[in-house]
């Protein structure tokens, strides 16, 4: 057992004169979840000193009475720990900075054994599981390109780290014109290979993919087992279970149905609060300056009001075909119209966690995107109805406090939900600016969110020929 006091020093002159510290490696800190951030208040980390207590046995042969002893250790931090380059050095592999979901990160995740000992172990392992549970059938290349055409045409990738005709390490070398739909195809190829490798690492502990709802005509999967297909309407959940842990991973569908559901449940927020949230995200969370040019890019009222009112007057539904979903799930259409996916989410949860069932295993809930918000609702529901606070890990999930107020008979959103652990990038527009969170929220990406980084994109405005309003994109 490690009981640790960390002292991170920019210069360790005050402790260097003491010869009482044993040598420890960066990997030792990583193993016990003790690796701090490499930059704190612009100080450059040189050494980490820690005081810890672990069990040992007395006697020359180590077989005597068990006792606890204190040890003092010092870890020298190499210069390349601070490097932003994604190379294969040991220090970079363990550096204390959350990286973006690029091919390098997915590859590393697929090579790491699952562990749930320290907080860092849990986050890394659950992040890998989230990548492994993305349904490939839902990753429709045409749909993705249509939705994020501007991003892909600019050469920005979700999963692929690429360089323009260079030989940089851990970087796909592509020509200048390898963008658009070609880049989407490469994204899918990287995700497919990494997901397969992560599942192989999980082995038999990766138990099942489950689905509840209406299957799309022509889908190879049928019933409640197997991955969802693109166009399936409903909820999906994968299960990981080993000797000590049981993890329920909720998934978004990445299709038209989930987009409609997101707009349905967040319509009021988008109309009333989304603009202010985006400004707050840019100025406070990302700590970037707001310029007069940005204010100018907002459409004039003459052009903005018709767009805003048009969205306000549009009717959205959580389902494209609620009749089919009702028939497949057994949930009445009236309940689906008022509660959306929530009745299905509860039903699919009970297929694994039966009401009143007891387990000696540690249960975790997890999700990414809209699936993360679903996991949060389930966590709050189980806490209220069964008095069980399951640790719940959400990555890049939209907020859920407002939608939770629609289900007050099942959960209490205003209660303290310390079991919720939220991880979101400082400039994830869907996750960071839609609704509010409960629990502990970690905003990552600020450390590298500078104009010198390749994934930093200044806001741009595009003038519209023949009109006076501008389109914003990042």
- Reported as a single tens digit per residue, the pLDDT across 221-279 is 888 988 888 888 999 999 999 999 999 999 887 677 788 888 898 998 988 898 889 88
DSSP secondary structure, 397-459, as one string? PPP-HHHHGGGTTT--TTS--TTEEEEEETT-HHHHSSS---SEEEEE-TTT-STTSTT----
Given the structure tokens 């840019």, which residue do they identify?
282
Beta bridge partners of 210: 225, 237
**Are the C-beta atoms of residues 52 and 2 closer than 8 Å to each other?**
yes
Distance CA 50, CA 34 (A): 9
For β-strands 172-174 and 162-164, DSSP reports them as parallel
242, with CB counted inside 10 A (0-12, 13-18, 19+), is middle
Neighbours of 117 (CB within 10 A): 12
For β-strands 22-24 and 66-76, DSSP reports them as parallel
Question: Cα separations (Å) of 168 from 98, 172, 173, 187?
Answer: 21, 8, 8, 19
Per-residue exposure over 149-173, b if at least 16 CB sit within 10 Å of its own CB, e if not: eebbebbbbbbbbbeeeeeeeebbe
Distance CA 455, CA 97 (A): 16
Question: Cα separations (Å) of 362 from 71, 163, 365, 412?
Answer: 31, 42, 10, 23
Prediction pTM value: 0.73
Phi-psi region of 254 (alpha: psi -120 to 50; beta: other; left: phi over 0): left
Per-residue pLDDT tens digits of the chain, which is 474 residues long: 333 333 443 334 444 444 566 666 656 655 555 555 444 434 445 566 656 555 444 444 444 454 445 566 666 655 555 443 434 444 443 333 323 334 455 666 666 678 888 888 888 899 889 988 988 877 788 888 888 887 787 777 777 766 655 555 556 666 655 678 888 888 888 888 888 888 988 999 999 999 999 988 888 888 898 888 888 899 999 999 999 999 999 988 767 778 888 889 899 898 889 888 988 888 888 888 888 777 777 777 787 788 888 888 888 888 888 999 999 999 999 999 999 999 999 999 999 999 988 889 999 999 998 999 999 999 999 999 999 999 999 999 999 999 999 999 999 999 999 999 999 888 888 888 899 999 999 988 887 676 665 556 543 333 333 333 333 332
Distance CA 223, CA 286 (A): 44
pLDDT at residue 473, as a whole number: 31
**Are the C-beta atoms of residues 86 and 95 closer than 8 Å to each other?**
no
Kindly list the structural domains of the chain, giving each domain's residue range(s) and its CATH number in brackets, ordered by start.
5-89 (no CATH), 202-263+316-463 (3.40.50)
Distance CA 271, CA 46 (A): 48
pLDDT digits (tens, 9 = 90+) for 291-337: 877 777 777 778 778 888 888 888 888 888 899 999 999 999 999 99
Distance CA 79, CA 41 (A): 18
Per-residue exposure over 308-330, b if at least 16 CB sit within 10 Å of its own CB, e if not: eeeeeeeeeebbebbebbbebbe
DSSP secondary structure, 268-301, as one string? HHHHHTHHHHHHHIIIIIS-----HHHHHHSPPH
């Amino acid at each position: 057992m490690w009981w640790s006091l960390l002292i991170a020093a920019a210069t360790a002159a005050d402790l260097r004169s003491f010869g009482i510290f044993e040598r420890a490696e960066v990997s030792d800190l990583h193993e016990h979840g003790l690796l701090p951030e490499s930059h704190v208040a612009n100080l450059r980390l040189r050494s980490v000193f820690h005081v810890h207590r672990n069990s040992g046995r007395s006697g020359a042969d180590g077989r005597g009475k068990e006792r606890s002893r204190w040890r003092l250790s010092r870890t020298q931090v190499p210069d390349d720990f601070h490097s932003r380059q994604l190379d294969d050095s040991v220090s970079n592999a363990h550096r204390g900075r959350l990286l973006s979901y690029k091919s390098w990160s997915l590859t590393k995740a697929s090579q790491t054994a699952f562990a749930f000992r320290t907080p860092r172990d849990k986050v890394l392992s659950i992040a890998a599981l989230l990548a492994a549970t993305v349904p490939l059938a839902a990753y429709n290349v045409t749909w993705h390109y249509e939705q994020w055409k501007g991003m892909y045409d600019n050469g920005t990738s979700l999963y692929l780290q690429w360089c323009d005709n260079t030989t940089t390490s851990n970087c796909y070398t592509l020509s200048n014109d390898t963008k658009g739909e070609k880049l989407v195809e490469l994204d899918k190829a990287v995700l497919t290979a990494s997901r397969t490798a992560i599942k192989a690492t999980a082995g038999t502990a990766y138990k099942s993919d489950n689905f509840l709802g209406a299957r799309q005509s022509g889908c190879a999967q049928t019933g409640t087992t197997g991955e969802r297909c693109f166009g399936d309407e409903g909820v999906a959940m994968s299960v990981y279970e080993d000797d000590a842990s049981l993890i329920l991973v909720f998934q978004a569908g990445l299709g038209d149905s989930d987009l409609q559901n997101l707009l349905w449940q967040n319509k009021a927020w988008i109309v009333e609060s989304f603009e202010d949230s985006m400004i707050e995200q840019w100025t406070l969370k990302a700590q970037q300056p707001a310029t007069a040019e940005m204010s100018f890019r907002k459409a004039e009222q003459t052009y903005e009001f018709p767009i805003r009112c048009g969205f306000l007057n549009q009717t959205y539904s959580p389902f494209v075909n609620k009749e089919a979903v009702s028939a497949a799930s057994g949930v009445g259409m009236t309940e689906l119209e008022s509660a959306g996916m929530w009745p299905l989410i509860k039903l699919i949860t009970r297929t694994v966690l039966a009401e009143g069932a007891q387990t000696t295993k540690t249960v975790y809930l997890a999700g990414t995107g809209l699936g993360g918000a679903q996991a949060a609702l389930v966590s709050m529901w189980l806490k209220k109805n069964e008095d069980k606070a399951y640790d719940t890990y959400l990555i890049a999930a939209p907020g859920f406090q407002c939608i939770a107020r629609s289900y007050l008979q099942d959960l209490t959103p205003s209660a303290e939900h310390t079991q919720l652990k939220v991880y979101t990038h400082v400039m994830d527009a869907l996750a960071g600016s839609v609704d509010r969170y409960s629990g502990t929220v970690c905003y990552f990406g600020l450390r590298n969110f500078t104009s010198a980084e390749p994934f930093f994109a200044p806001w741009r405005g595009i003038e519209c020929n023949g009109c006076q309003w501008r389109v914003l994109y990042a």
